[in-house]
Each structure stands twice: as C-alpha cells, then as structure tokens.
Amino acid sequence: MINVIRVANTLFYIYSLETQKTMNHSFRIFFTLVCALYYSACMAQVSNTDNSWKFFIEPYVMFPNMNGETGIRNLPAVEVDASAGDIFSKLQFGAMLYMEAQNDKWAITSDLLYMDLEQDVAPTALINSGAASAKQLGYELAGLYRLAPFLETGLGLRLNNINSELEIVRNTVGGGTESLSASLSRTWIDPILIARATADVNNKWLFTFRGDFGGFGIGSDFTWQAQGYVGYRFSKLFQTSVGYRIIGIDYDKGSSEDRFRYDMNTFGPNIRLGFNL
C-alpha cells in the first residue's frame, strides 16, 4: 500500500510540474495542502494494521460540451447552445483523477478535473457570431457517511479556477459589424451537500448515482452536479464504468472591467478505469 501511495504522489508531482504555469499562487498552495492532508490520512490508516479502510484510484476522461450564458468585462452576455451532435462535431477533452478512502461507515473522496471547452455563440439580434471557450481546473474534497447499505450523504468543498475567453462579432447600427474579444480568470470555492446511491449486483455489475448542490452565494450563486454510471468488475483489482456527468455553475461577480459571468452547464459522457487497492 505504501508503494501505491508513493506512485500517486509521483503522479501529482508530475501534474503540478505540467500545470504550474497556468495555476495562480493561491491555487497551488491550496492544492498542495489538500494533497498533503489527504495522503497523511492515508498513511495514518496504512500504519494501523487493524483498520478496515479500503482505497480506490480511478483515472477517467470526459468529453464535455457547454450550454448556458457567459459574459466578460464590458462585452454583452452571450448564449452558448450545444446540441447533442456537437459533442462529436466539436469534440473537446477533459482529463480527471478520482480517489477514495472508505470503511464501513465513512468515505473520503477526492476529485481532480481539467476541462478545455469551446462552443459557438448563439446568434441574436445583437450578436452576429462568435465563440466562447473556458479552461476549467477544479478540485473537490468531500466526506460521506453511510446511512444505509445503498445510500451515503455528506459535505464537501469544490475549488473552481476558470479562464474564460469570448470572441464575438456584434451587429452595429447601419448594417455593419465589429469584432470584440476579452478574457478573464476567476478562482473561488463552493461548499456543497452531497448524496450518493450505489448498488452491487453479484459483485460484478456496479451502479452509481451521485448528486450535489451548493454555492449558496459564498462562491457561486448556485452550483449543482449529477452523475450516473454503470460499471463492471473484472477482478478484485480492476473495474471499468461508463456514464454521463452534468456540472452546473451560476457565478456572477464584479462589474464593468471586472465583471465575470459564468452561468453554464457542462455535460458529456465519461469513461472510467478503477483500481481497488
């Protein structure tokens, strides 16, 4: 088990080297502290040979798209509308790593995700055309308590770092157009309430539904998430699952040149590879 933790620590070290240029200083500090606390807890459990804690690592990919409204600085707010076919015609990419430590009653979960999203702007009477993009780096740390064999509830914190860019062609009086662009980055933390339902059929087929909501004006005005997965366990070590995930964020802060509005649903299919340690 100690070797596994060392491998995971190495993965996080490599990740930090690759992304340190895009993270601001406060996020790097937060990320380092969370990793240190999480693995300190894991090491403490490993040192106790009488405990019944189990560990789970699950890298996965998400193929995301966007639907909602965004506004940056003094640019007019624009609508982003993705149809189901856009998932494949304008395919973007997301890479994630999920980890969990659990016993019969408690679970500590960790979810790290990076998404690079882009979608066309929906034309209006004011907007001729355009494109909105967002690079989203998020980290969630949560604790869950088992209320029943199939049901857990808990609390968590989700950190969001979003770098949003907007390019639009605006209609002008007289029938002309003008091109406008802007970019802005924001980092904030949302408290969330979580519920998770699971089922294990014949120790082979796995079913999971997880939902959460939060923000409460502390970070986002409101945020929510829903995930559903069907999986298959090939052995005690390895399992895989496929499913769908929707993340909703309604964030609107600042004014004029400091304005940042991101009222967006991000959604898409997931493919996950899990390792039970």
pLDDT digits (tens, 9 = 90+) for 94-132: 779 999 999 999 999 999 999 888 888 888 888 888 888
Q: Angle 145-146-148 (CA atoms, 0-180°, nearest 5)?
A: 155
Give CA separation, 8 vs 2, 52, 103, in Å.
Answer: 10, 21, 20
Query: Of 85, 141, 82, 133, which Cα lies nearest the Cα of 110?
Result: 141
pLDDT in tens, 33-81: 455 555 555 554 554 444 589 999 999 998 888 899 999 998 888 888 7
CA separation for the pair 111, 95 (Å, rounded): 11
pTM of the model: 0.78
